[in-house]
Amino acid sequence: MTNTSLFVQLFVGFLLSVALADSNCPIKLDPTKVVAKHGDPVSINCTAEGEHEGMGFEASENGTGTIMVNHLTWSVTSVDPSIAVLCYITPSLGNSAFKALTLFCTWVKNGQKINSSLPLSREDAGIYSVEAEGLSSREKNVSVRILYGPELSCSSNYTALEHSKFSLSCTVGVDLGNITRDDAGNYTLVASTGQQTVTQTFEVIVHYSNFILGSSVSLKCSARGNPRPKYSWIYYNTTNVSEENDDGVSILVIHNATTFNIGSYTCLASNEHGTVSKTARLTTEGAQQECPLQIIPAERMVLEYNSESKRATCTTSSTENLKEIYWRDNGGHITSGLLDIIPDTRNWDAKPAVCEAGFKGIGLCSKRLDIILYKKPDSVFIRIQRGSETLEDFIQEGEYTLNCLITSVAPAKYVWVRWFRGNESFTPQKVHVSCIECDINETRTSVNMSFSTNITVNRTHNEMTFSCEAALNLSEVQNITFPASRPLNTTVYYEPVINTTKLSSPVPVFSGYAEDLKCEAEGNPRPKITWNSSLTGPLEHSDGVLPVTQKGLYTCIATNLIGSDFHKVEVIEKGKTILLLLMLVLMNSSR
């Protein structure tokens, strides 16, 4: 019996039994002898000494069950001869007076009297003879087997890369009868010998160990026990993990460790007398454990406001390690079983839902489903500003601000603008974004926004168009066309510039032959051309072309709204001799 028990048997009219008052015995009966007649009332006090985990009376009548007291009274109003009574205590494992041989017997092993009050160790197994004292004396040979629970020692063995840290080391020895709370480990020891069961639960010490991604890690678990313990492991099982049980030792090998191997590994060793376990945690520096959950189609759903919604499903490919799985909405409400979520596209405040799951070796982990509702703008408008003044499309060269106004768009955080000059888009260096009555990063509802950029307008921009187009910086909606502004026509006015390459100076004229002076000028509006002679004043010309026959200083003047440009040409006369000579040469060569 596990329990140290004292028997009191009651027989009517006879002195029947004596409880031996062993000084080591932690149970005291009062009275120690009971003499009673059939039908008499009987009352017995039982007192426990020292630490224990409950006491009680076992009896065919008025039994008490196990109670956490030190003193108990058993009584019947009318005793009958068949009554058997037993006072017992469930000893605490720390009470050295127990897991010892029965107190009222003399034990002899190999001719030596054994001090039966000492705890047994497994070396004490063997054949004992026992002399029981009492009214008569008896002798019997008894085979004493010492049963003990599994003892666990585990170590982490790294067939790994150099510099890998080795920090896991644990050895737990558990010996029935000698257990202290210092024997760390998250294990429950169930010592069971006979009818009673003693249970002790101890706290865990979890050892952390670092591994290097891509290396191989071995976890060794060995336990002693009689009978030899069987092993099992609890961890997040992946294809690169294998268990090898060999010669009383269990080795878990992780090949080419990945972040999925981060987690806790519990080795359980058990035999019929109990189970012990030890947990080691594997970590790797700079990497987080992967949560083996997938949200389909993606962890982010981008849906058009007030459109037909879509379904999001949470799944795992690791069903063998899965313990539970459910959706938790942002109010904390849990939807289990149903693993689909259909966001409400009419609710701007649709908040993220979280898929949470429990896995062996990982515990709870989660993936978040972000829901982004977008809205195409009602309108997009472009304008030109100079300072605080908004202009029509007639402008001069200089610094201007292009302003793109977008109404009723969402979400502000992802809105941006494509700028176009003609049909070609351009990327300004700096764009100022503002949002009317909203917080760009936070507001989810539709808002009005303004995008501005400064441009330097020059004459090459004349008759070009500027426009802007709203866009959302969300990969999911890249293919969706958003409204663009109507194009803004630009007219750039600039002062005339005379094309001097066609008016080299001086110009020779041969007497009697007219020479054309051609004055061309660029400018917007189109410049007006006038020719002046230093001698005769303004001259007639045809669209800038002035025929000259006489020498002199001629001036071309180009004028428009914005300004004017002028260019002087000197005309000189050449003699006839040169002309004749030239004609002869030409005639000879044409022959």
Ligand X SMILES: *[C@@H]1O[C@H](CO)[C@@H](O)[C@H](O)[C@H]1NC(C)=O
Provide φ and ψ at 488, rounded to 5°: -100, 115
* Pair 174, 147: CB distance under 8 Å: no
When asked if residue 318 is in the footprint of ligand X (CB under 6 A), the reply is no
Using CB under 6 A, which of the segments 87-95, 324-332, 439-447, 574-582 binds ligand X? 439-447
* Pair 343, 370: CB distance under 8 Å: no
> x/- binding map, residues 159-178, to ligand X, per CB under 6 A?
-------------------x
When asked if residue 81 is in the footprint of ligand X (CB under 6 A), the reply is no
Cα separation of the two ends of the chain:
146
* Pair 183, 172: CB distance under 8 Å: yes
161, 204, 535, 582: which one binds ligand X (CB under 6 A)? 204
13, 15, 20, 30: which one binds ligand X (CB under 6 A)? 30
237, 407, 445, 491: which one binds ligand X (CB under 6 A)? 237
Using CB under 6 A, which of the segments 5-13, 70-78, 311-319, 503-511 binds ligand X? 70-78
Nearer to ligand X, 250 or 446 (CB): 250
- The string over 37-65, giving b where at least 16 C-beta atoms fall within 10 Å of a residue's C-beta and e elsewhere, is eeebebebebbbeeebeebbbbbeeeebe
What single letter denotes the amino acid at residue 528? K
Provide φ and ψ at 459, rounded to 5°: -60, -20
How far apart are alpha carbons 44 and 62 in whole angstroms?
A: 12
When asked if residue 62 is in the footprint of ligand X (CB under 6 A), the reply is yes
When asked if residue 476 is in the footprint of ligand X (CB under 6 A), the reply is yes
When asked if residue 96 is in the footprint of ligand X (CB under 6 A), the reply is yes
How far apart are alpha carbons 541 and 561 in whole angstroms?
A: 21
Cite the beta strand spans of 14-78 per DSSP E.
Answer: 27-30, 42-48, 52-59, 71-76
Distances (CA, A) of 55 to 4, 65, 87, 229, 266: 10, 8, 7, 32, 35
Q: Please tell me the count of residues contacting ligand X according to CB under 6 A.
A: 41
When asked if residue 250 is in the footprint of ligand X (CB under 6 A), the reply is no
Element (H or E) spanning 577, and its range? helix 576-590
- Helix and strand numbers, DSSP H then E, in the chain: 1, 48
Cα–Cα nearest to 335, from 351, 320, 314: 314
DSSP structural state of residue 206: P
Q: Is 231 exposed, middle or buried (0-12, 13-18, 19+ CB in 10 A)?
A: buried
Cite the beta strand spans of 247-397 per DSSP E.
Answer: 249-254, 263-271, 274-283, 294-296, 300-304, 312-315, 322-328, 334-336, 340-341, 353-359, 363-374, 379-386, 389-391, 394-396
When asked if residue 78 is in the footprint of ligand X (CB under 6 A), the reply is yes
When asked if residue 489 is in the footprint of ligand X (CB under 6 A), the reply is yes
Distance of closest approach, residue 441 Cβ to ligand X, in angstroms: 4
When asked if residue 309 is in the footprint of ligand X (CB under 6 A), the reply is no
Distance of closest approach, residue 453 Cβ to ligand X, in angstroms: 5
When asked if residue 427 is in the footprint of ligand X (CB under 6 A), the reply is no
DSSP structural state of residue 375: B
Using CB under 6 A, which of the segments 34-42, 232-240, 306-314, 511-519 binds ligand X? 232-240
Using CB under 6 A, which of the segments 307-315, 377-385, 471-479, 570-578 binds ligand X? 471-479
When asked if residue 69 is in the footprint of ligand X (CB under 6 A), the reply is no
19, 76, 373, 521: which one binds ligand X (CB under 6 A)? 76
Rg over alpha carbons for the chain, rounded to the nearest Å, is 52
* Tokens coding 377: 């703008």
How far apart are alpha carbons 222 and 246 in whole angstroms?
A: 10
479, 504, 588, 589: which one binds ligand X (CB under 6 A)? 479
Nearer to ligand X, 259 or 534 (CB): 259
Nearer to ligand X, 394 or 572 (CB): 394
Nearer to ligand X, 242 or 347 (CB): 242
Nearer to ligand X, 435 or 548 (CB): 435
When asked if residue 275 is in the footprint of ligand X (CB under 6 A), the reply is no
5, 157, 318, 555: which one binds ligand X (CB under 6 A)? 157
Distance of closest approach, residue 533 Cβ to ligand X, in angstroms: 34
When asked if residue 425 is in the footprint of ligand X (CB under 6 A), the reply is no
137, 441, 577, 588: which one binds ligand X (CB under 6 A)? 441
When asked if residue 440 is in the footprint of ligand X (CB under 6 A), the reply is yes
When asked if residue 215 is in the footprint of ligand X (CB under 6 A), the reply is no
Provide φ and ψ at 407, rounded to 5°: -110, 140
Residues 114-143 binding ligand X (CB under 6 A) are 119
Using CB under 6 A, which of the segments 1-9, 141-149, 283-291, 437-445 binds ligand X? 437-445
When asked if residue 51 is in the footprint of ligand X (CB under 6 A), the reply is no
When asked if residue 430 is in the footprint of ligand X (CB under 6 A), the reply is yes
Using CB under 6 A, which of the segments 73-81, 140-148, 492-500, 516-524 binds ligand X? 73-81
Distance of closest approach, residue 572 Cβ to ligand X, in angstroms: 35
Nearer to ligand X, 310 or 432 (CB): 432
Peptide bond into 525 cis (omega under 30): yes
When asked if residue 460 is in the footprint of ligand X (CB under 6 A), the reply is yes
DSSP structural state of residue 481: -
* Pair 340, 347: CB distance under 8 Å: no
When asked if residue 63 is in the footprint of ligand X (CB under 6 A), the reply is no
Sign of CA dihedral 405, 409, 414, 417: negative
When asked if residue 58 is in the footprint of ligand X (CB under 6 A), the reply is no
Nearer to ligand X, 259 or 330 (CB): 259
When asked if residue 388 is in the footprint of ligand X (CB under 6 A), the reply is no
Nearer to ligand X, 189 or 509 (CB): 189
Nearer to ligand X, 75 or 425 (CB): 75
Nearer to ligand X, 4 or 266 (CB): 266
When asked if residue 454 is in the footprint of ligand X (CB under 6 A), the reply is yes
How far apart are alpha carbons 23 and 35 in whole angstroms?
A: 24
Site of tokens 């048997």: 9
> Going edge to edge, which strands form the sheet with 521-524?
394-396, 491-498, 521-524
Residues binding ligand X (CB under 6 A): 30-31, 45, 61-62, 71, 73, 75-78, 96, 119, 155, 157, 178, 186, 204, 214, 233, 237, 239, 256, 266, 279, 399, 401, 430, 432, 439-441, 452-454, 458, 460, 476, 478-479, 489
